[in-house]
């Protein structure tokens, strides 16, 4: 048995659909797609993803911002979309709205374990607006607690999405120029150290892709960042160790050219089996 999971920050689902996202969905070969920065009401998400997919979403209370979702092929009978969980327990919903969704699959790999897939859209933060960094660290604190709690009953757990942190120097092209930038601050990277170095969670993409640099998943809209591949690797699939052992292949569906992109992020697709 195998399961292919894709994750992508769509940078506005309605805009992504207009720019060509449906063609990618049809060709990606994914069983589950997690989406971030959806920026659309829940009632519109299913129609935008298209036929053949069942969806669950968590729109932001702040209109035009954030929003996460998950799409599952309709023929799958191992998912109850009515049982998804929205939001991180213990966080103020008005501040952290539309950033976390948990979806359970019943034994998708045939090993007797349930799999919880999370679509996460982390705060980007800004060093010029200190409160945004306080919010980001609060989210990260609770996220680590939640991940540990989910694993406690022996299930597989997969954190997917736009984490808005480049973990190491190989994860950002211009790392020297961004040492004081949100997304590459030592305090932010330390949270990923706690997951990936101090604990046994696995950055599946990095494990399969090798030591890098890259492959990147996001490029600034400014200048020639995309053309020069001056990107950041900030989109992840971070797995509990037993699930990570089942990972077979990974790819980033980077658009062939700047004008063919339908988001400023590229999808990350990993197959487990």
Output the pTM of the full model.
Answer: 0.98
In this prediction, residues 167-193 reach a mean pLDDT of: 98
Q: What is the pLDDT of residue 146?
A: 98
The CA-atom distances, in angstroms, between 96 and each of 64, 73, 92, 198, 217 are 14, 28, 6, 26, 23
Q: What is the pLDDT of residue 102?
A: 98
Q: What is the pLDDT of residues 110-150, one digit of tens each?
A: 999 999 999 999 999 999 999 999 999 999 999 999 999 99
Distance between CA atoms of residues 270 and 70, nearest Å: 15
In this prediction, residues 156-162 reach a mean pLDDT of: 98
In sequence order, the β-bridge partners of residue 145 are: none
Angle of helix 130-151 relative to helix 186-193, nearest 10 degrees, comes to 0
Over the chain, what is the mean pLDDT? 97
44-48, 111-115, 241-245: lowest mean pLDDT where?
44-48
Q: What is the pLDDT of residues 54-111, one digit of tens each?
A: 999 999 999 899 999 999 999 999 999 999 999 999 999 899 999 999 999 999 999 9
In this prediction, residues 222-232 reach a mean pLDDT of: 96
Q: What is the pLDDT of residue 201?
A: 98
Q: How confident is the model at residue 209 (pLDDT cuts 50, 70, 90)?
A: very high
DSSP assignment string, 82-97? GG-EES-TTS-TTTST
In this prediction, residues 139-164 reach a mean pLDDT of: 98
Q: What is the pLDDT of residue 178?
A: 97
**For residue 72, with 0-12 CB atoms within 10 Å meaning exposed, 13-18 middle and 19 or more buried, which class applies?**
buried
Q: What is the pLDDT of residue 69?
A: 98
Distance between CA atoms of residues 121 and 140, nearest Å: 11
In this prediction, residues 154-172 reach a mean pLDDT of: 98
Q: What is the pLDDT of residue 235?
A: 99
Q: What is the pLDDT of residue 227?
A: 97
Q: What is the pLDDT of residue 48?
A: 95
């Amino acid at each position: 048995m195998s399961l292919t999971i894709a994750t992508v920050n769509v940078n506005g689902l309605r805009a992504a659909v207009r720019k060509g996202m449906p063609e990618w969905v049809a060709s990606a070969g994914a069983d589950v797609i997690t989406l971030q920065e959806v920026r659309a009401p829940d009632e519109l998400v299913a129609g935008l993803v298209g036929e053949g997919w069942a969806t669950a979403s968590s729109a932001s209370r702040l209109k035009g911002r954030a929003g996460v979702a998950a799409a599952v092929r309709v023929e799958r009978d191992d998912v109850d979309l009515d049982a998804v969980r929205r939001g991180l327990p213990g966080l103020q919903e008005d501040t952290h709205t539309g950033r976390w969704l948990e979806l359970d699959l019943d034994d998708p790999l045939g090993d007797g374990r349930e799999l919880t897939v999370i679509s996460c859209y982390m705060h980007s933060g800004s060093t010029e607006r200190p409160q945004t960094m306080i919010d980001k660290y609060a989210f990260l604190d609770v996220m680590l607690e939640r991940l540990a709690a989910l694993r406690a009953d022996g299930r597989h757990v997969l954190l997917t999405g736009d984490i808005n942190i480049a973990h190491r120097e190989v994860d950002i092209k211009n790392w020297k120029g961004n040492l004081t930038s949100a997304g590459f601050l030592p305090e932010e990277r330390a949270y990923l150290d706690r997951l990936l170095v101090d604990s046994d969670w696995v950055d599946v993409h990095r494990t399969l892709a090798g030591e890098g640099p890259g492959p990147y998943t996001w490029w600034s809209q400014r200048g020639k960042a995309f053309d020069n591949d001056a990107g950041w690797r900030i989109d992840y699939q971070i797995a509990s160790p037993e699930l990570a052992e089942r990972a077979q292949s990974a790819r980033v569906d980077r658009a062939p050219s700047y004008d063919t992109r339908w988001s400023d992020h590229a999808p990350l697709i990993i197959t487990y089996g």
